[in-house]
RNA sequence: CGAGGUGUGGCUCAGUUUGGUAGAGCGCCACGUUCGGGACGUGGAGGCCGCAGGUUCGAAUCCUGUCACCUCGACCA
């Protein structure tokens, strides 16, 4: 079989139908199963393990930075949701309502949390009284519900898992610093754990979170050239605090209004991994979050000593803290190669009679199919080295794709022709800051504003749309 | 929510036009032979044909309704 030939006949090739390719992977790699409720999915063990690994890394980082985990209720009384005007308007169209308790109709209907700002605010009003009570650096790992019309596994489901950080501070400066810090935590996480390059930036007015003063986001570019918002961090100013009557007394015995933030990432990141790294043979998982980092495939396992050696390698790697699996099932080696490639296991170790004789094993990297030998007396180090190489290789590959699909344009026509010629991607272009131009660019070219990157470039003096003096460079793109 | 498509063993689908005893491949189970890129033989198990009505002597097939999923748009983490 030719090296590049597709090994898994049942996965639709990306080039043929990207959406179907995505759906195939999600099902075939056993990440999810659909249920009888639209937009609600079973996250299966292999999919959930990816989330658990992400959670572990992020949770550790949050705690290092002084955050504490809490858990708010899942129900929000309608009157509480209604307290902050912009916030309700943003979320009301997509909330699910509980109207009955058993057979009894509720006095006041309860919304299933679409996000928990209101609950945190109600709580802060109760527990924040003095500057000594601040800051509160809270986070929760829960699920939320948004009644989406169109749903897709991981990318847009009606119930999804996430973490939402909610912090409250004495000063605006402190809150702004928190907002920026957490955006950086997300961007670093994407780079170091998910091998996924992202663009950090600020959302435009029209695109920011309902009730926020400013919304920051990290934007990633998928294989098909569409953008995916991978995480957000909001600065709320004192708007929510005012609406919910949260005050504290400062050192000078003056009543002050505190400043708040919130930030979150969701199981959508799993979708991001699939669409950033996956290929026609299936999933490709970054080592840091892969449920299985190394799979050991014994070759000619019926032969004397092979399984013993395979078990020995397994024990050695496991003792070194590597997530390793030994597949000693009766399936043929070829079947196992294809199976674990589809499952995205970053590194495969093959061990057979010839290898044992020569004192090494074969290591094959999932993302590149690179084959190397690792000396058995240097197994742990060798495997760790390979896993690092896989991570680096995956990041570079994703970055190359992003660069290849990032276009700098100075006119609407240029945007159109670049997208036409090279396919969807990130478009960098100058903007005057007027919402009318933002809308018009989307209408004329199909790409919307993704964010105003922190790393600005001066491409032109004029707005790409109206020709008036430009205020900043915006990254535009089609979004998931 | 608008447009289109699909629902038949675990999976992929045939059968629907023209109504007449539910099929295939893969997977699964047992045994044997195999094993360095999805092995093979023999035997076996498994199906309210998405759901509810209707037409008919008879419905997977025709009619009505309904639900779910997929794709594309509008809205959104």
Q: Smallest Cα–C1' distance to nucleotide B12: which residue has it? A: A10
Q: Quick one: average pLDDT of A357-372?
A: 96
Q: What is the pLDDT of residue A5?
A: 34
**Structural domains of chain A in order of their starting residue, each with its CATH number:** 18-277 (3.30.930.10), 294-402 (3.40.50.800), 406-477 (3.30.110.30)
Q: What is the pLDDT of residue A257?
A: 98
Rounded to the nearest 10 degrees, what angle do helices A379-404 and A268-277 cross at? 90
Helices (H), A92-206: 117-127, 172-192
Rounded distance in angstroms from the CA atom of residue A32 to the C1' atom of nucleotide B21: 39
Query: Which three-class secondary structure state does DSSP give residue A258?
Result: coil
Q: Quick one: average pLDDT of A221-231?
A: 92
Q: Is the pLDDT of residue A28 over 90?
A: no
- Strand B bases contacted by the protein (CB, 7 Å): 1-2, 11-12, 34-39, 67-77
Q: What is the pLDDT of residue A19?
A: 81
- Judge whether residue A39 contacts strand B, using its CB and a 7 Å cut-off: yes
- Judge whether residue A8 contacts strand B, using its CB and a 7 Å cut-off: yes
Q: What is the pLDDT of residues A405-435, one digit of tens each?
A: 999 999 999 999 999 888 899 999 999 999 9
Output phi, psi for A436, to 5 deg. -60, -40
Kindly indicate the confidence band of residue A10, based on its pLDDT and cuts at 50, 70 and 90.
low
Predicted-assembly ipTM surpassing the 0.90 threshold: no
- Judge whether residue A94 contacts strand B, using its CB and a 7 Å cut-off: yes
Q: What is the pLDDT of residue A140?
A: 98
Rounded distance in angstroms from the CA atom of residue A38 to the C1' atom of nucleotide B54: 29
Strands A294-298 and A347-351: parallel
Q: Quick one: average pLDDT of A99-119?
A: 89
Q: Rounded mean pLDDT of chain A? A: 92
- Judge whether residue A143 contacts strand B, using its CB and a 7 Å cut-off: no
- Judge whether residue A196 contacts strand B, using its CB and a 7 Å cut-off: no
- Judge whether residue A268 contacts strand B, using its CB and a 7 Å cut-off: yes
Q: What is the pLDDT of residues A250-266, one digit of tens each?
A: 999 999 999 999 999 99
Residues forming beta bridges with residue A260, ordered by sequence position: A168, A237
Q: Quick one: average pLDDT of A189-206?
A: 96
Q: What is the pLDDT of residue A39?
A: 82
Output phi, psi for A220, to 5 deg. -115, 155
pTM over 0.90: yes
- Judge whether residue A307 contacts strand B, using its CB and a 7 Å cut-off: no
Rounded to the nearest 10 degrees, what angle do helices A435-445 and A412-422 cross at? 40
What does the DSSP assignment read for A198-252?
-EEEE--GGGS-TT-SEEEEEEEE-TTS-EEEEEEEEEEETHHHHHTT--EE-TT
Q: Is the pLDDT of residue A31 over 80?
A: yes
Q: Is the pLDDT of residue A9 over 80?
A: no
- Provide the percentage of residues in chain A whose pLDDT is more than 70: 98
Strands A448-453 and A199-202: antiparallel
Helix%, strand%, coil% for chain A, nearest 5: 35, 30, 35
């Amino acid at each position: 079989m030719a090296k590049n030939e597709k090994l898994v006949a049942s996965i639709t090739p990306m080039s043929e139908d990207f959406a179907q390719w995505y759906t195939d992977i999600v099902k075939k790699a056993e990440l999810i199963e659909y249920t009888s409720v639209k937009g609600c999915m079973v996250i299966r063990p292999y999919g959930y393990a990816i989330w658990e690994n992400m959670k572990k890394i992020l949770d550790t980082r949050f705690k290092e930075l002084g955050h504490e985990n809490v858990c708010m209720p899942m129900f929000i009384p309608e009157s509480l949701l209604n307290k902050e005007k912009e916030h309700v308007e943003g979320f009301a169209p997509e909330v699910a309502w509980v109207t009955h308790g058993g057979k009894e109709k509720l006095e006041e209907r309860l919304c299933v949390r679409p996000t928990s700002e209101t609950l945190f605010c109600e709580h802060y009003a109760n527990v924040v009284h003095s500057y000594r009570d601040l800051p509160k650096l809270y986070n929760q790992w829960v699920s939320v519900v948004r009644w989406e019309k169109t749903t897709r596994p991981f990318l847009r489901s009606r119930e999804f898992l996430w973490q939402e950080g909610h912090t409250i501070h004495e000063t605006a400066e402190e809150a702004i610093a928190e907002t920026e810090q957490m955006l950086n935590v997300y961007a670093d996480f994407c780079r170091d754990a998910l091998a996924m390059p992202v663009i950090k930036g600020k959302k435009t007015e029209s695109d920011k979170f309902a009730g926020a003063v400013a919304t920051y986001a990290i934007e990633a570019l998928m294989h098909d050239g569409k953008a995916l918002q991978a995480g957000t961090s909001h600065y709320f100013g004192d708007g929510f605090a005012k609406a919910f009557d949260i005050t504290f007394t400062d050192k000078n015995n003056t009543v002050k209004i505190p400043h708040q933030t919130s930030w979150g990432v969701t199981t959508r990141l799993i979708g991001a991994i699939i669409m950033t790294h996956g290929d026609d043979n299936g999933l490709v998982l970054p080592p840091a979050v892969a449920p299985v980092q190394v799979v050991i495939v014994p070759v000619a396992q019926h032969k004397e000593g092979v399984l013993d050696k395979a078990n020995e390698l397994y024990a050695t790697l496991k003792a070194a803290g590597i997530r390793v699996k030994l597949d000693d099932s009766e399936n043929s080696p070829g079947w196992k190669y294809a199976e674990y490639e589809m499952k995205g296991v970053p590194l495969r170790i093959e061990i057979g009679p010839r290898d044992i004789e020569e004192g090494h094993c074969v290591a094959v990297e999932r993302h590149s199919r690179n084959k190397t030998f690792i000396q058995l007396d240097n197994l742990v180090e060798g495997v760790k080295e390979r896993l690092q190489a896989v991570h680096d290789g995956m990041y570079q590959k994703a970055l190359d794709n992003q660069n290849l699909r990032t276009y700098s344009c100075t006119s609407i026509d240029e945007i159109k022709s670049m997208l036409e010629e090279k396919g969807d991607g990130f478009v960098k272009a100058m903007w005057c800051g007027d919402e009318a131009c933002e809308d018009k660019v989307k209408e004329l070219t199909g790409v919307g504003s993704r964010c105003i990157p922190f790393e600005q470039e001066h491409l032109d003096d004029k707005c790409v749309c109206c020709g008036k003096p430009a205020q900043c460079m915006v990254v535009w793109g089609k979004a998931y």
